Amino acid sequence: MSQVRTRFAPSPTGFMHLGGVRTALYAYLFAKKNGGKFILRIEDTDQERFVEGATEVIYDTLRDCGILWDEGPDIGGDYGPYIQSERKSLYLPYAQELVEKGAAYYCFCTKEELDERRAAAEARGEVFKYDKHCLGLSKEEVQAKLDAGVPYVIRMNAPTEGSTSYHDLVFGEMTFPNSDTMDDMVLIKQDGMPTYNFANVIDDHLMGITHVMRGVEYLSSTPRYNFLYNAFGWEIPEYIHLTTVMRDATHKLSKRDGDAYYSDFIAKGYLKDALVNYLALVGWNPGTDQEFFNMDELVQAFDVKHLNKSPGIFDVNKLDWMNGQYVQKMDFERYLQMATPWFDQALAGRGVDYRRLAELMQSRTDIFSRIPEKIQFLAQMPDYDPAIFFNKKQKSDENVAREVLPLLIPVLEGIEDWTEQNIHDTVMAVIPQWGKKNGQVLWPMRISISGLESTPGGAFEIAYLLGKQETLRRMRSSLEKLG
Ligand code: GLU
């Protein structure tokens, strides 16, 4: 069997959709698993949809994810160019070959003529399909129009009867009646550019693609492509159609909900490794209970047999959980580096010891964008209800706080070197002298300076992070609040 060659063929129309990242990932995994090649092809023949900079976004996203291509526009390869607009001149001769074979024909109908016939068909309650009007032109008539420079398109001469069957590696045997799925689609547009419908066939063939992986929306277009392959006498590739990535049973991931694009998730502080790991599992399963995979492990485990037929649900809660697991395991220095801009959002310029804060926050971070809200209390004392001084287990309440805080303030004032260790040792030394349980001092201490029942770190850590002055200021104002 020839070497496996898969491709990812995005159109540069904006940001990278998560569904696209997943398609690229599966095509990459399949190629690597089979010792094959993964090709990147940019499909920019629809110039109206082209967005400046979108090709770079595709490169950056795939590289970021570790989905690396063996051949592509920026690195070349034996089958280039890999940008369709740069291949423009090679498509027309193929379309002309089909014309000679009777599988395609020139069409000179103007937009106005087509609009008129479409309107008439709709008035009759029919769906307009191109009516093969120009198929009736004689060879001489066609040549005369071409010589006169009349604008034209080239259309496929689609069969109107019978049906087309093919085998899909995920969906199995597919059969479509030709009258439903075929029409005389345009192959070459007036501007000389091929349509996607034509270019994908030519390019997949010329680039030696053995397995075409793409979205399930192409399932019913495939008979048209097979018609073209057959007309050329070319081998039809294997097809692997992938289900849509959904937010839930009825909703797609959407731009409006901010959950469609790879960059949205990175901006929210998700880790790319977690995102890639999770995406792999949306629509595919390893056939075992294993959930955590790095790229090499995904390559090893990947098997088309375990691609799902039903839409993949992208469960953000599951992703959050998985991301948290990755955060916990990440190298501390990297965590500190990634967390710093998020610390800054809440604490810039306050001189908080970020290293210590990072030690406390790493195990409490699921996604980075939630860090600022969790540490906001260090920037500003929350307006809290004094009822939270009550804690049964710690034997604390407002009265205990009224008694303990005035004792604590001078003790803390006396600490010269405000280290966490000194705060700890000094406070722990006085608690027995006051005849109190630890909780009866530490609970009011922490509440009085954080205003929160639960905080990252205990009383000593918080006091240290706040600094001496701020700790004392907060304690005094809490005492005032207690009255
Ligand atoms: N350019 C097409 C798209 O972005 C590619 C589909 C295919 O893989 O053939 O949907």
Q: Which atom of ligand 1 is nearest to the CA of 13?
A: 4
Ligand 1 residue neighbourhood (C-beta within 6 Å) = 9-11, 43, 196, 200, 214
User: Ligand 1 centroid to 18 CA: how many Å?
Assistant: 14
Nearest residue (by CA) to ligand 1, atom 3, is 10
CATH topology of domain 86-242: Rossmann fold (3.40.50)
The 3-class secondary structure across the chain, one letter per residue, is CCCCEEEECCCCCCCCEHHHHHHHHHHHHHHHHCCCEEEECECCCCHHHCCCCHHHHHHHHHHHHCCCCCEECCCECCCCCCEHHHHHHHHHHHHHHHHHHCCEEEECCCHHHHHHHHHHHHHCCCCCCCCCHHHHCCHHHHHHHHHCCCCCEEEECCCCCCEEEEEECCCEEEEEEHHHHCCCCEEECCCCCECHHHHHHHHHHHCCCCEEEEEHHHCCCHHHHHHHHHHHCCCCCEEEEECCEECCCCCECCCCCCCCEHHHHHHCCCCHHHHHHHHHHCCECCCCCCCCCCHHHHHHHCCHHHECCCCEECCHHHHHHHHHHHHHHCCHHHHHHHHHHHHHHHHCCCCCCHHHHHHHHHHHCCCHHHHHHHHHHHHCCCCCCHHHHCECCCCECHHHHHHHHHHHHHHHHCCCCCCHHHHHHHHHHHCHHHCCCHHHHHHHHHHHHHCCCCCCCCHHHHHHHHCHHHHHHHHHHHHHHHC
Q: Which residues are catalytically annotated?
A: 255
Testing ligand 1's pocket by substitution, the residue of 7, 8, 49, 196 carrying the most ligand atoms inside 8 A of its CB is: 196
Testing ligand 1's pocket by substitution, the residue of 39, 49, 214 carrying the most ligand atoms inside 8 A of its CB is: 214
User: Ligand 1 centroid to 214 CA: how many Å?
Assistant: 7
Model pTM? 0.91
pLDDT of residue 1: 59
Testing ligand 1's pocket by substitution, the residue of 23, 82, 200 carrying the most ligand atoms inside 8 A of its CB is: 200
Per-residue pLDDT of the chain (483 residues; tens, 9 = 90+): 589 999 999 999 989 999 999 999 999 999 999 999 999 999 998 878 888 899 999 999 999 999 999 999 999 999 999 999 999 999 999 999 999 999 999 999 999 999 999 999 999 999 899 999 999 999 999 999 999 999 999 999 999 999 999 999 999 999 999 998 999 999 999 999 999 999 999 999 999 999 999 999 999 999 999 999 999 999 999 999 999 999 988 999 888 777 899 999 999 999 999 999 999 999 999 999 999 999 999 999 999 999 999 999 999 999 999 999 999 999 999 999 999 999 999 999 999 999 999 999 999 999 999 999 999 999 999 999 999 999 999 999 999 999 999 999 999 999 999 999 999 999 999 999 999 999 999 999 999 999 999 999 999 999 999 999 999 999 999 999 998
Q: Which atom of ligand 1 is nearest to the CA of 8?
A: 8
CATH 1.10.10.350 fits 386-482, yes or no: yes
pLDDT of residue 45: 87
Domain locations in the chain as residue ranges: 86-242, 332-379, 386-482
User: Ligand 1 centroid to 382 CA: how many Å?
Assistant: 51
User: Ligand 1 centroid to 8 CA: how many Å?
Assistant: 8
Q: Which atom of ligand 1 is nearest to the CA of 7?
A: 8
Q: Which atom of ligand 1 is nearest to the CA of 217?
A: 10
User: Ligand 1 centroid to 21 CA: how many Å?
Assistant: 12
User: Ligand 1 centroid to 240 CA: how many Å?
Assistant: 13
Q: Which atom of ligand 1 is nearest to the CA of 214?
A: 8
